[in-house]
Amino acid sequence: MRVFVTGASGFIGSAIVQELIHAGHQVTGLARSAASATALANAGADVLQGSLEDLDSLKKGAAGADGVIHAAFIHDFSNYLAAAETDKKAIEAIGSVLIGSDRPLVVTAGILGIRNDGQLITEDDPAPGFPRASEAAAMALAEAGVRASVIRLPPSVHDQGDYGFVPFIIGMARKHGVSAYVGEGTNRWPAVHRLDAALVFRLALEKGETGRRYNAIGDEGIPVREIAGVIGQYLNLPVASVPAEEAAAHFAWMSRFIMFDSPASAVKTKEQLNWTPLHPGLLDDLNKGHYFGH
C-alpha cells in the first residue's frame, strides 16, 4: 500500500514510518524542512515537501496514496487554539480528497481529559470537539463517506528520544529542586510505548473500520505520584506534594494536564485489531535511565 504520513519525521511518526516500511508498505512522508526531508529519505521513505498550513500539499499527498496516516500536530501550548484549528483544517483537506473511496484515513487524537471522573476511558467515550477537534473532524468525515478512524494517544508515549510531557516534568523537577505531584498524587495517567503505538497505527490503516475510535494504551493508569517518585530517585531530589493552587507555579502550562485523572482501557482496540502491547511500560522505561542521561 502507498501510504502518505504527516508528522512522519517526528518522535511518533518516525516509528510509524519504520513500522509501515517493515510491513512492506511504500511510504511518502510530509516534510516541512530540509532536515525532515533528509531524515525521511534516510529512513527509506519518499518525501513530499509541505506543511499542515499548506493544504494543497496535504491534498496532493492524499491524492497519490492508497491510505493516509495523519500523525502531525503543532504542539504549541502557548497558542493551542490556533494549533487545534490548523489541525482541523488539515484533516478536512485530506478528507476532501478521500470522500467516496475506500482509502483509509487514520487520524491521531489525544485521550487525556476525555473523562476526569476516575472511570476508565473506553473506545465508546467520545472526545469533546474543543479545544482539539481532531476526533470530531475525523468522525464528521466518516459520516461524509471517508473510511476514517481515530487513534487516541495517552499523555505519555514513551521511548528513548521522547520530548513530550514526561521530559517536561523532569525539567521542572530539576528547575525547582523537587519532584512534585499535585495533592495526593493518586490521579492516573495512561501511557504507551512508542513502538506499540506505531503498530496500532499500521493495524488501523490495514483493517480499521469507518468511524472507529482506537485507544493506544499500554498502561491503563499510573498514579502521578509514582512517576514523580521515580524521577526523584534518579535525580536524587525530594519527592513532595504541592497544593492545587501552587501547581501553576511549579508546572507552568502543564499544571492543568498534570491534575487529570484519566485512566483508559484498550480492551476493544486489542480485540478489534488483534493488538498486544509488547514493549516496556512507562515506569520500566523510566527505570532504564535514558530519560535522565544515564
Which three-class secondary structure string do you get for 2-70? EEEEECCCCHHHHHHHHHHHHCCCEEEEEECCHHHHHHHHHHCCEEEECCCCCHHHHHHHHHCCCEEEE
Q: Is 223 exposed, middle or buried (0-12, 13-18, 19+ CB in 10 A)?
A: middle
pLDDT band at 117 (very low <50, low <70, confident <90, very high): confident
Cβ atoms of 292 and 235 within 8 Å: the answer is yes
Question: Which pLDDT belongs to residue 131?
Answer: 87
pLDDT, the chain, mean = 96
Q: Tell me which residue has cell 483508559.
A: 264
Pairing of strands 147-153, 219-223: unpaired
pLDDT at residue 78 is higher than 80: no
Neighbours of 57 (CB within 10 A): 20
Better-scored residue on pLDDT, 76 or 91? 91
Q: What is the mean pLDDT of residues 194-217?
A: 98
Whole-number pLDDT of residue 139: 97
Instruction: Identify the CATH homologous superfamily for domain 2-158+191-220+263-280.
Output: NAD(P)-binding Rossmann-like Domain (3.40.50.720)
Across 4-18, b (16+ Cβ under 10 Å) vs e yields bbbbbbbbbbbbbbb
What is the model's pLDDT at position 156? 97
Q: Flag whether pLDDT at 248 surpasses 90.
A: yes
Per CATH, which fold does 165-188+222-258 belong to?
A: UDP-galactose 4-epimerase; domain 1 (3.90.25)
Whether pLDDT at 294 is above 80? no
In the chain, domain spans: 2-158+191-220+263-280, 165-188+222-258
Binned at pLDDT 50, 70 and 90, residue 129 comes out as confident
Q: What distance in Å separates the CA atoms of residue 16 and residue 10, rounded to the nearest whole number?
A: 9
Structure confidence at residue 282 (pLDDT): 98
pLDDT beyond 90 at 88: yes
**pLDDT at residue 141 is higher than 90:** yes
What is the per-residue pLDDT across 5-27, written as a single tens digit (0 to 9) for each?
Answer: 999 999 999 999 999 999 999 99
